[in-house]
Amino acid sequence: MPGARGALTEEIPEYAGRRRRFPVGAEVIDRRIDFRIWAPSHKGVEVVIEQPRPEAIPMTAEEQGYFSAIVRHPGQRVLYRFRLNNKEALLPDPAARFQPEGPHGPSEVIDPTSFAWTDQNWRGPALLGQIIYEMHIGTFTPEGTWLAAARQLPELAANGIGLLEMMPIADFPGQFGWSYDGVDLFAPTRLYGRPDDLRHFIDAAHELGIGVILDVVYNHFGPDGNYLLEFSPTYFTDRYQCEWGNAINFDGPESRPVRGFFIANAGYWIEEFHFDGFRLDATQQIFDASKPGIIAEITERARRSAGERSILVMAENEPQRAELLLPSERGGAGLDALWNDDFHHALMVALTGKKEAYYSDYHGSPQEIVSTARHGFLYQGQWSRWQNHPRGTPSFEVEHAHFVCYLQNHDQVANSTWGHRLGQITSPGKHRAATALLLLGPWTPMLFQGQEFAASTPFLFFADHKPETAAAIAKGRVQFLRQFASLATEGIERYLADPGKEDTFLRSKLDFRERETNWRFVSMFQELVTLRKEDAVFSWQGEGGVDGAVLAQAAFVLRFFGEDTDRLLLVNFGPDLFSAPAPEPLLAPPRLQEWKMIFSTDDPHFGGGGTPEVRLDQGWRLPAEAALVFASEPLEATDDRAGSPDSA
């Protein structure tokens, strides 16, 4: 087979003016397939066509270690692999657009123009007023496919979801997985369907006014199925230590093609799948001393690829480097938003009382929650006892919407013995009150799938690997959880779900029947979303629009300032609170106005015990474990306090 010239290669004229859009992978251009790979440490490379008929095609060496070959497209499904230096082993394409048999099988040529998009009028999502929904395709529906998930999109739209954050989809080995161990960054996993099924999902979301951003992992590759080292050892570096495997070489020798691989990947998802941006996973493990940094270059490429469409790029950054939100010319990365773990951690302590591991840096106090609403991050350079070093950078000037806050996410739900949701580890009243706080606060709220109907199904850590890898992962999971004192006790590992068992994965699937059984919570959730979306005061997320104060050991108030009317959000995670007098300025209504209660999480319709009339101008009672909303209204003309402004 080596050197053979068959039907795909005969009589092909010189192909001038190549119009490749990405540096590597197989691209379909004018009824031809343009193969290109970076293999700088090899002298010869062949692309081996396995289907529709076997054929080995020598590739032409280019500058900087690239090899390429152009062949006719047979008009049929094309499967291929690469052979390096005439060796027997055949290797899949690390930039494959699809791996129909998984990471170890042959790669498939995909023509992105075969899908008929209908979203030509879609202009992209905005950050202001957004509600984000984190989704794991494999567990979101019983089928675990893009087509099944697409059928649920109208329900999400009806619940006010405007932006989906799809957990990583880069292909990985096995039949199920969390998907943070992807190895084929250009190949949407075959487990959820074919590439056009993903395009259909995004097209359907856009039709409903929902944007879709992709969670991408640019800090490591999974432990099995990654063939990049076969093509070049310089994809990785030992100059840095990554928590989850080999660190990626973004700033060492021969790093420019490596950077190009990841920058192209960002452009690929935006251009060929119409994604509306990204959530960058664990950016603190992306090591790069270059200026501009790789995160800034990825962000810039994503925006350029979107053309006139708006996109959103946000990131997880555990050290809380607020400067990542600055443009690259000011030393930042041009991001739109950052995840705010401080909000989650402080709320978890307030709602559960547990202060283990990284929660030990928080008191769960009302002041922490008020400070988060006013200033974003809680740690902006102070010493972290848990980490034993300073954490965070100043975020005082960052507007509220740029902080993504959450009560649940994939990591935090799974970092427990049982993978319990918030509603299972705190009281119903606190759960409802915290939900009101999340949805009405000045930040950008994010929900984890099923949170809108108080899902009780767990979300566990699951990963299907070959036996030796699975055993190592299970052991590593136990060691990771031992940072929590309650999970470091003798024999606890026998209660932890085995990540490699299919049942662990299946138990994590949502049960949509809970939309009906939990209808009271759903009703409350929908009213809160309506308040956030339609109330002009709550929907304003600009600087200076909110202030707050502590009222008691477990109670606080947030005041939202409008042009003609204000709002109060009173939250009490403790027992009944009586206040007379109430010497707190934020409780005073605007001049010639009075407060009227417009919402209570303690409403019996939502499952609460009922809220007696609360008069903030008199001695008042704030019910236990509840959140109340007040709107200021003009005084009635008969009220002694009403009258001509000149009478003041």
Provide the annotated active-site residues: 281, 316
Q: Which helix (H) or strand (E) holds 139?
A: helix 137-140
For 432, phi then psi, to 5°, come to -65, -45
Tell the burial category of 438 from Cβ atoms under 10 Å away from its Cβ (0-12, 13-18, 19+).
buried
For residue 395, give both structure tokens.
Answer: 């975020």
Tell the burial category of 170 from Cβ atoms under 10 Å away from its Cβ (0-12, 13-18, 19+).
buried
Question: What is the DSSP secondary-structure string of 573-628?
Answer: -SS-EEESS---GGGSPPTTEEEEEEEETT-GGGT--------TTSSEEEPTTEEE
| Nearest-angstrom CA–CA distance, 216 and 298 | 11
- State the CB neighbour count (10 A cutoff) for residue 575: 14
| Nearest-angstrom CA–CA distance, 517 and 551 | 35
Q: How close are the terminal C-alpha atoms of the chain, in Å?
A: 97
Output 526-530 pairs: Cβ under 8 A, ≥24 positions apart. Answer: 526/159, 526/160, 527/599, 528/435, 528/436, 528/439, 528/440, 528/599, 529/131, 529/159, 529/160, 529/439, 530/160
DSSP 61: E
| Nearest-angstrom CA–CA distance, 525 and 540 | 19
Query: Are 487 and 417 within 8 A, CB to CB?
Result: yes
Residue with tokens 């192909």: 15
Supply the Cα-derived Rg of the chain in whole angstroms. Answer: 27
Helix axes 195-207, 255-273, angle to 10 degrees: 60
Query: Are 597 and 613 within 8 A, CB to CB?
Result: yes
What single-letter amino acid sits at 606?
Answer: F
Sheet of strand 79-84, all strands in order from the earlier edge strand to the far edge: 55-58, 45-51, 79-84, 107-108
Residue-wise burial string across 311-347, b where 16 or more C-beta atoms lie within 10 A, e elsewhere: bbbbbbbeebbbebbbebeeebbbbbbbbbbbbbbbb
> Counting every residue, how long is the chain?
648
